[in-house]
């Protein structure tokens, strides 16, 4: 299958770009904001101010390009634990994301006007649930779409296939985005499947499958935009395979040197999505180093203000661990809740 690509590895356009100057700048700023958050989150984890954190360095374009196509108050985002960049771009406040990765109940859930489900930790559970959310939008007579993310390893799970089949049969307005970074933690993609491309599996469900350069923001944005428009027209789901690479470890507890080479990571660092997009803007005369410096100051100020907000959140109460699981607490849950409150 051909891979959709608009920028070469240095960021020079390979063809006419489908986005205007304002959109290109908007996209670059969103990429830089995501990278800034990721770098700060890793530092906070090292300082003991964040729990185990899954970095996404290198995968920003694959997430930001999709989120930029969605309307937070109208569409739905169902992210796995890797998609903090998508959540940030979709409209999740930074302080909520910090609290979420602190496992603080104050970080659970999205604020009004942001239709995002909490990050999924189980693998592939989100696919059938996203298909249901998308189908529900259609039943409600809305033109809203749902976007769901999964890694290449997750496509080996039954939930992936069941969700895609359901969405295809019922023409659910769904985008299924596979971030294929070549590894399912320490297992390479070639040991997970026989097909050359995950997008080929779309043929088995009778839906379009697209392969895109996941480190090329313009390409991801363009492909996702077409899939969203198709879904809004009632033409059903699209499977998007974004070829990308997570330069960072699987989580802050991982040591990638045990299963992959430094040379491999260096090759992908040379294709860094942010450097490519910045070079694209510089090539088109849309950006300058002065604007880059101002953006850095802006991002730093925003993050520090949001971090202060997160730090002021009240300490979670022990009994909150058993709350908000069911609409009505079950007997064993109720007993635990009373015990933790000192009422037993």
Active site residue 82: no
The residue count of the chain comes to 344
Q: Which is the catalytic residue, given 259, 294, 317, 339?
A: 259
Active site residue 245: no
CA distance 114 to 76: 8
Q: Is the pLDDT of residue 325 over 80?
A: no
* The predicted structure's pLDDT at residue 239: 98
Q: Is the pLDDT of residue 344 over 80?
A: no
CA distance 99 to 79: 17
Q: Is the pLDDT of residue 231 over 90?
A: yes
Residues with Cβ < 8 Å from 131, sequence gap 6 or more? 146, 163, 164, 166, 167, 170, 172, 174, 237
* The predicted structure's pLDDT at residue 326: 82
Q: What is the pLDDT of residues 9-37, one digit of tens each?
A: 999 999 999 999 999 999 999 999 999 99
Q: Model confidence at 109, in pLDDT bands (50, 70, 90)?
A: confident
Active site residue 250: yes
DSSP designation for 109:
S
Q: Which of 212, 210, 196 is nearest to 7 (CA)?
A: 212
**CA atoms in the 13 A half-sphere facing the CB of 27:** 34
Q: Which is the catalytic residue, given 57, 138, 230, 246?
A: 246
Q: What pTM value is reported for the model? A: 0.93
Backbone angles phi, psi at 227, to 5 degrees: -70, -40
Q: What is the pLDDT of residues 258-282, one digit of tens each?
A: 889 889 989 998 999 999 999 999 9
**CA atoms in the 13 A half-sphere facing the CB of 306:** 20
The mean pLDDT value for 49-54 works out to: 93
* The predicted structure's pLDDT at residue 323: 82
Concatenated DSSP letters of 159-194:
HHHHHHHHHHHTT--EEEEEEE-SEETTEEGGGT-S
Average pLDDT, the chain: 95
* The predicted structure's pLDDT at residue 282: 98
For residues 218 and 129, the answer to whether their CB atoms sit within 8 Å is: no
* The predicted structure's pLDDT at residue 122: 94
Q: What is the pLDDT of residues 147-185, one digit of tens each?
A: 999 999 999 999 999 999 999 999 999 999 999 999 988
Q: Is the pLDDT of residue 49 over 80?
A: yes
Q: Which is the catalytic residue, given 82, 250, 271, 276?
A: 250
Q: Which of 104, 48, 52 is nearest to 312 (CA)?
A: 104
pLDDT cut 70: percent of the chain above it: 100
Residue 240 β-bridge partners: 177, 210
Q: In what order do the strands lie in the sheet with 209-213?
A: 3-4, 209-213, 238-243, 174-180, 146-151, 76-78
Residues with Cβ < 8 Å from 271, sequence gap 6 or more? 9, 215, 245
Q: Is the pLDDT of residue 240 over 90?
A: yes
């Amino acid at each position: 299958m051909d891979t959709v690509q608009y920028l070469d590895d240095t960021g020079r356009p390979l063809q006419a770009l489908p986005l205007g100057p304002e959109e290109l700048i908007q996209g670059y700023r969103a990429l830089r904001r995501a990278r800034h958050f990721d770098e700060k989150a890793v530092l906070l984890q090292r300082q003991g101010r964040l729990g185990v954190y899954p970095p996404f360095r290198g995968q920003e374009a694959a997430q930001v390009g999709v989120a930029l196509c969605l309307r937070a108050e109208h569409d739905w985002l169902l992210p796995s634990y890797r998609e903090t960049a998508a959540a940030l771009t979709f409209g999740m406040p930074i302080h909520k994301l910090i609290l979420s990765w602190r496992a603080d109940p104050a970080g659970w859930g999205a604020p009004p006007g942001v239709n995002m489900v909490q990050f999924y930790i189980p693998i592939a559970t989100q696919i059938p649930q996203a298909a249901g959310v998308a189908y529900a939008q259609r039943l409600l007579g809305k033109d809203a779409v749902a976007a769901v993310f999964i890694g290449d390893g997750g496509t080996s799970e039954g939930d992936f296939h069941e969700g895609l089949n359901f969405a295809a049969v019922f023409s659910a307005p769904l985008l299924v985005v596979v971030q294929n970074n070549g590894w399912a933690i320490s297992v390479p993609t070639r040991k997970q499947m026989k097909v050359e491309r995950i997008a080929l599996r779309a043929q088995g469900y009778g839906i379009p499958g697209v392969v895109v350069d996941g480190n090329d923001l313009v390409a991801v944005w363009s492909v996702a935009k077409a899939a969203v428009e198709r879904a809004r027209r009632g033409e059903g789901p699209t499977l998007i395979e974004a070829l990308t690479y997570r330069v960072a470890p699987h989580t802050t507890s991982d040591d990638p040197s045990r299963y992959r080479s430094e040379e491999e990571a260096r090759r992908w660092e040379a294709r860094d999505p942010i450097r490519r997009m910045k070079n694209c803007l510089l090539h088109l005369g849309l950006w300058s180093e002065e604007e880059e410096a101002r953006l850095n100051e802006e991002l730093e100020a925003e993050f520090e203000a949001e971090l202060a907000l997160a730090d002021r959140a009240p300490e979670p109460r022990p009994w909150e661990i058993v709350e908000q699981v069911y609409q009505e607490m079950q007997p064993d849950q109720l007993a635990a809740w009373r015990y933790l409150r000192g009422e037993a």
